[in-house]
Structure 1
Amino acid sequence: MAVAPYELVHQPREVVARVRARGRLVLSSPTINRGTAFTLAQREQLELTGLLPTGVSTLEGQVRRVWAQYLQQPSDLAKWVYLANLRDRNEVLFYRLLSEHLPEMLPVVYTPTVGTAIERFSHEFRRSRGVFLSVDHPDQVETALRNTGLGPDDVDLLVATDSEGILGIGDQGIGGIEISIGKLSVYTAAAGIHPRRVLPVVLDMGTDNLRLLNDSMYLGERHARVRDHRYDELIDAYVTACNKLFPNAMLHWEDFGTENARRILNKYSGVCCTFNDDMQGTAAVVLAAVFSAVRAAGSRLADQRIVIHGAGTAGLGIADMLRDQMIREGLSPAEATGRFYALAKQGLLVDDDPSLLDFQVPYARSRAEVAGWPAGAGGVGLATVVSRARPTILIGTSTQAGAFTESIVREMASFNARPIILPLSNPTSKAEALPQDLIHWTDGKVLTATGSPFEPVHYKGVAYQIAQSNNALVFPGLGLGVAVTKASRISEGMIAAAADAVAAMSDARTPGASLLPPMTVLRTASAAVAIAVAKAADAEGLARVELSNPVQQVYDAMWQPEYPRIEPIEA
């Protein structure tokens, strides 16, 4: 077995790099390379003399240089490529830059720009990052994970995708690895999970994307997407191998198709530490916004009537989490479920509709209940549901631009002192309503959060800060809390604790205040979430390490993007 060029020794608040490599091998290793920041003494010890410019830079000076270079890039895709190249040559510098400019760079390293990078993956491929697992070779899964060289205590989390539901662009085959890489970049920048303690994974099931199948440059399995028993065999081989090789790691599922996402989460959530951000992360940040809104309205969640416009995986994942919280607040399961009115393409979900999916059935209203409600060709529509159900909360996950019309919004405001309206579909072109319209139509009474970022809205002398319901407020801190406690699984209580911690960072009772904290405090929010999650895991008996001082333990676990102390050792 080849000798590793370096070893990382993780100590509280410090990482030590024990370096065997010398010369150009040091400069080609992004974990230990610090470029012009190597001191003259380090250059001599590591045989770098003459291989770098004479001047010695500080990390701060390097950040200024690469920030200026970043700003010179002509497009968001060019900025993404620049950052990817920077990460490939100097990991610490990349994460230091990203952490200092996270609000500006989040749309580049993650959504939406990463979508373009994913589409062009096979053409722009430069350097392999992550693990590629094929549905045609399930017997190779454990071998592939072993080939990373990582041991049982070396991995905190893995982010895996099957690439079927990538952002808003659908099936992207093997290019989906970039969504896993981008997600892990946010985990590191926001929550300080060390970049060498995570693994991005793509589960290559083939693709139904004809553009990719007919592209001679495509790097994935060149056949239609597999949907039979072989799909489940690869998923099971992956989970089994991860549990065997990395028993303390969290398995994060990202951008799976609707039916598989829920099915996989239900299958494995009770047996290992697993998390689906599209379902649980989205629901948690919405729960945080709702927590904040109902407190500002002087109410409680158990008293709400909620309309979900868009009864897919995301919409009903939100409903599930809100319902579970209502039960914790004292409602019976039947009472809590009865608080929801869910609409899909066929209008209001009704129990005699044969097209209902399994996860939609619990939220279907009885046909007898809605017998007298006006209905059109598309079933009972949103305007009728709002008029008859008189909801206190209206949530949009439909991707139907403008679905929350002026008449619907004004009607909600007529029977709610503080209507809670959350148009969560993104991008902006698919938002159910724009925040400036909601504020004007309700005369400033609305409590709102959106899926896309919006500038403040000025109305009658008040600057209304618009909360962005961004999963990044939840999932990095959740992952950190799990890593600190080595939690055996993720419970509903842990996710609710994460949502409550986010909500506590904003006081929406102040006129114009946001329902959620801004992206500028993302690292602080991640720490607060991690502490809350760790405490919840400990209280529920899910922590596998003693939680003696959660604040200190979380603080110590947050890697700072600083150059490690170097200890040259003999090869």
Structure 2
Amino acid sequence: MSNVSILANPLLNKGTGFKQEERDEMGLNGLIPPVVQSIEEQERQVYSQYQSKSSRLEQRIFLMDIYKTNRTLFYYTMEKHLVEFMPVVYDPVVADAIEEYSDRFVSPDAVYLSIHDQEHIKDALESFADGRDIRLIVVTDSEGILGMGDCGINGVEIATGKLAVYTAAAGVDPSKVLPVVLDVGTNNKELLDNPNYLGNKHERIRGGAYDQFIDKFVKEVTNLFPKALLHWEDFGRSNAAKILEKYQSTICTINDDIQGTGIVILAALLGSMKVSKLPMNQQKVLIFGAGTAGIGIANQILEEMLRTNDITHEEAKKRFYLVDQQGLLTDDLPDLTDGQKKFARPQAELNRKTLKDLKDIIAFVKPTVLIGTSTTPNAFTEEAIKEMAKHVERPAIFPISNPTKLIEAKAADVIKWTDGKALVCTGIPSDDVEYNGVTYQIGQGNNALMYPGLGLGIIVAEAKIVTQNMLSAAARAVGELVDPKVEGASILPPVADLQNVSKVVAEAVVAQAIKDGINQRDIADVKEEVSRSIWKPRY
């Protein structure tokens, strides 16, 4: 590799961090400034420049420039400022980066696969991998980005951002990852009308042609990278579950919107149960927003009910109530998705009435758990929350839609409206709430508590597939981190503890993979092997 190529490779480049002997050996003298800096000195300079930026979007653009030039320095700096950088590198600031991706485009940073150029899928994947041992692939078609919808090729920022969190949180080796965006068109008129838009300028292709494109992609990925975890991200409602169900029993794959969201909210529920002491088979779950995330949450909680209690599948399903645009979902409604049909209530229960108002639904259902995945701001009204608090001593209330402008209710309001009784987690970072002399810490129902450790565990085990047992083990591991003896304590661990949480999750996942017999390598000591596998950003 030439000296110029070394400086152009973000996985190899150290910038001014190259020692003199390295400069001599690689022929770098005169190609970088003569001063040799430690990574600590470089980090201080990066952080100072970061602080000088005028907006969070500008901060993100600056950080991703470092990402594209010196991956080790990027992750070292992020490690030092993890809580501060997480919302900038990923959610919610990634939404601004997505909106402006084509307009601000400078250089490629992923694999861009077009439905019209399938003959080059293998070549593109091989070229981007460049001989690296790829163990993790994040792929999106950007149709169902939470709070934004269809973003076309601009959604590539989701893939790169998600992979950045995998490494920052769990130490997944950045040399072994690959971001991919699948371009099948877009139904976003603003993008189609934008002369700078870089994706295919036509409406989304669906049906058989779409399915064949996915099949071709999966075939090439699994042939080229047989030990890789394939992570599907932000696929639309009509495709997300269908794709996962098609491949999950034959290849190593997850869908974070379905399974990641499901297990982090299951973990929050398990954490709340340590406080409320209400067992799983007595929970009554109301999910407000029956899209991909809502159905994924329902399925994960249902699986846990069946796993931990003497209850039949039909009895467990009766403890779920889902609400979507039509109101409380009943079995007589047209155009329900397969996931919605699974949980739709018999119309006879409602005496032929239609329930649409959330307060009325709560009065009818009397739930112990209320989960918001609707992206409908302020949908959890004071009247609705007070109605819920009438029927349960410690209601679990999780408004998890994001970004901030789309959240169903603010944590401080939920605490106030329930007189401090609610066990709350939100989908956005929430400040502590002071109420009646108690400090309530608000857990963030952030998938980042789950998918990095889940992915690391899958990679360490070299799992053939991802089992339901592994998902449940991850959720239980996080739920166990809650301390119920502290009044006002969070029902989820804080983002500040993300690296430790990811390690705990990875250990639980590896142990479960071994129990399930789907690991492809022998592991004598799970904790030791997980620790050994964590990549550290050091020169």
Same fold? TM cut 0.5: yes
Asked if residue 366 in structure 1 is aligned to residue 346 in structure 2, the reply is yes
Please report how far the alpha carbon of residue 224 of structure 1 lies from its aligned counterpart in structure 2 after TM superposition.
Answer: 1.9
Residue 9 (structure 1) aligns with: none
Aligned partners of 2:478, 2:505: CA distance in 1, in Å? 7
Q: Is the 8 A contact 1:115 1:167 kept in 2?
A: no
Q: Is the 8 A contact 1:111 1:167 kept in 2?
A: no
Aligned partners of 1:510, 1:159: CA distance in 2, in Å? 38
Residue 397 (structure 2) aligns with: 421
* 1:188-207 correspondence runs (5 A): 188-207=167-186
* Letter of the 1:552 counterpart: E
Pick aligned residue for 1:498 from 450, 474, 480? 474
Q: Is the 8 A contact 2:396 2:422 kept in 1?
A: yes
Residue 264 (structure 1) aligns with: 243
Pick aligned residue for 1:38 from 8, 11, 18? 18
* Letter of the 1:341 counterpart: Y
For structure 2, list consecutive stretches of 5 or more residues without a partner in the other structure. Answer: none
* 1:291-440 correspondence runs (5 A): 291-329=270-308, 330-371=310-351, 375=354, 379-440=355-416
Asked if residue 95 in structure 1 is aligned to residue 75 in structure 2, the reply is yes
Please report how far the alpha carbon of residue 470 of structure 1 lies from its aligned counterpart in structure 2 after TM superposition.
Answer: 0.3
* 1:43-58 correspondence runs (5 A): 43-58=23-38
Aligned partners of 1:37, 1:295: CA distance in 2, in Å? 48
Q: Is the 8 A contact 1:506 1:514 kept in 2?
A: yes
Residue 64 (structure 1) aligns with: 44
Please report how far the alpha carbon of residue 362 of structure 1 lies from its aligned counterpart in structure 2 after TM superposition.
Answer: 1.7
Q: TM-score when scaled to structure 1?
A: 0.91
Residue 245 (structure 1) aligns with: 224
Quick one: structure 1 residues 291 and 60, their matched pair in 2 at CA, closer, same or farther if it must change by over 3 Å?
A: same
Which secondary structure does the structure 2 equivalent of 1:159 belong to? strand
Aligned partners of 1:309, 1:343: CA distance in 2, in Å? 5
Pick aligned residue for 2:144 from 143, 165, 168? 165
Aligned partners of 1:53, 1:227: CA distance in 2, in Å? 53
Please report how far the alpha carbon of residue 44 of structure 1 lies from its aligned counterpart in structure 2 after TM superposition.
Answer: 1.8
Quick one: structure 1 residues 209 and 411, their matched pair in 2 at CA, closer, same or farther if it must change by over 3 Å?
A: closer
Residue 177 (structure 1) aligns with: 156
Please report how far the alpha carbon of residue 146 of structure 1 lies from its aligned counterpart in structure 2 after TM superposition.
Answer: 2.0
Aligned partners of 2:65, 2:359: CA distance in 1, in Å? 50
- Bigger shift: 283-292 or 442-451? 442-451
Aligned partners of 2:103, 2:367: CA distance in 1, in Å? 49
Which secondary structure does the structure 1 equivalent of 2:113 belong to? strand
Asked if residue 537 in structure 1 is aligned to residue 513 in structure 2, the reply is yes
Please report how far the alpha carbon of residue 31 of structure 1 lies from its aligned counterpart in structure 2 after TM superposition.
Answer: 1.6
Which secondary structure does the structure 2 equivalent of 1:308 belong to? strand
Q: Is the 8 A contact 2:68 2:109 kept in 1?
A: no
Aligned partners of 1:250, 1:72: CA distance in 2, in Å? 38
- The one-character-per-residue Cα deviations of 1:292-321 (angstroms, maximum 9, x if unpaired) are 001211122122111111112111210111
Please report how far the alpha carbon of residue 149 of structure 1 lies from its aligned counterpart in structure 2 after TM superposition.
Answer: 4.4
Asked if residue 471 in structure 1 is aligned to residue 471 in structure 2, the reply is no
Please report how far the alpha carbon of residue 195 of structure 1 lies from its aligned counterpart in structure 2 after TM superposition.
Answer: 1.0
Q: Is the 8 A contact 2:147 2:375 kept in 1?
A: no
Q: Is the 8 A contact 2:91 2:403 kept in 1?
A: no
Asked if residue 232 in structure 1 is aligned to residue 211 in structure 2, the reply is yes
Residue 192 (structure 2) aligns with: 213
- CA-based RMSD: 1.6
Residue 114 (structure 1) aligns with: 94
Asked if residue 125 in structure 1 is aligned to residue 105 in structure 2, the reply is yes
Which secondary structure does the structure 2 equivalent of 1:226 belong to? coil
* Letter of the 1:304 counterpart: Q
Aligned partners of 2:336, 2:347: CA distance in 1, in Å? 14
Please report how far the alpha carbon of residue 532 of structure 1 lies from its aligned counterpart in structure 2 after TM superposition.
Answer: 0.5
Quick one: structure 1 residues 214 and 345, their matched pair in 2 at CA, closer, same or farther if it must change by over 3 Å?
A: closer
Please report how far the alpha carbon of residue 407 of structure 1 lies from its aligned counterpart in structure 2 after TM superposition.
Answer: 2.5
* Letter of the 2:120 counterpart: Q
Q: Is the 8 A contact 1:188 1:194 kept in 2?
A: yes
Aligned partners of 2:57, 2:356: CA distance in 1, in Å? 43
* Letter of the 1:549 counterpart: D
Please report how far the alpha carbon of residue 498 of structure 1 lies from its aligned counterpart in structure 2 after TM superposition.
Answer: 0.8
Please report how far the alpha carbon of residue 441 of structure 1 lies from its aligned counterpart in structure 2 after TM superposition.
Answer: 1.8
Aligned partners of 2:485, 2:372: CA distance in 1, in Å? 23
Q: Is the 8 A contact 1:396 1:422 kept in 2?
A: yes
Please report how far the alpha carbon of residue 285 of structure 1 lies from its aligned counterpart in structure 2 after TM superposition.
Answer: 0.5
Q: Is the 8 A contact 2:507 2:526 kept in 1?
A: yes
Aligned partners of 1:324, 1:59: CA distance in 2, in Å? 46
Aligned partners of 1:398, 1:216: CA distance in 2, in Å? 32
Please report how far the alpha carbon of residue 150 of structure 1 lies from its aligned counterpart in structure 2 after TM superposition.
Answer: 4.6
List, as ranges, runs of 4+ consecutive aligned residues in structure 1 with deviation greater than 4 Å.
Answer: none
* Letter of the 2:197 counterpart: Y
Which secondary structure does the structure 1 equivalent of 2:206 belong to? coil
Residue 15 (structure 1) aligns with: none
Quick one: structure 1 residues 211 and 441, their matched pair in 2 at CA, closer, same or farther if it must change by over 3 Å?
A: closer
For structure 1, list consecutive stretches of 5 or more residues without a partner in the other structure. Answer: 6-20, 564-571
- Bigger shift: 29-38 or 242-251? 29-38
Q: Which has the larger radius of gyration?
A: 1
Percent pairwise identity = 45
Aligned partners of 1:200, 1:163: CA distance in 2, in Å? 13
Report the structure, 1 or 2, having the larger helix content: 2
- The one-character-per-residue Cα deviations of 1:135-162 (angstroms, maximum 9, x if unpaired) are 11222222222223455x8111100001
Please report how far the alpha carbon of residue 380 of structure 1 lies from its aligned counterpart in structure 2 after TM superposition.
Answer: 4.4
Please report how far the alpha carbon of residue 245 of structure 1 lies from its aligned counterpart in structure 2 after TM superposition.
Answer: 0.9
Aligned partners of 2:426, 2:331: CA distance in 1, in Å? 30
Aligned positions, number: 538
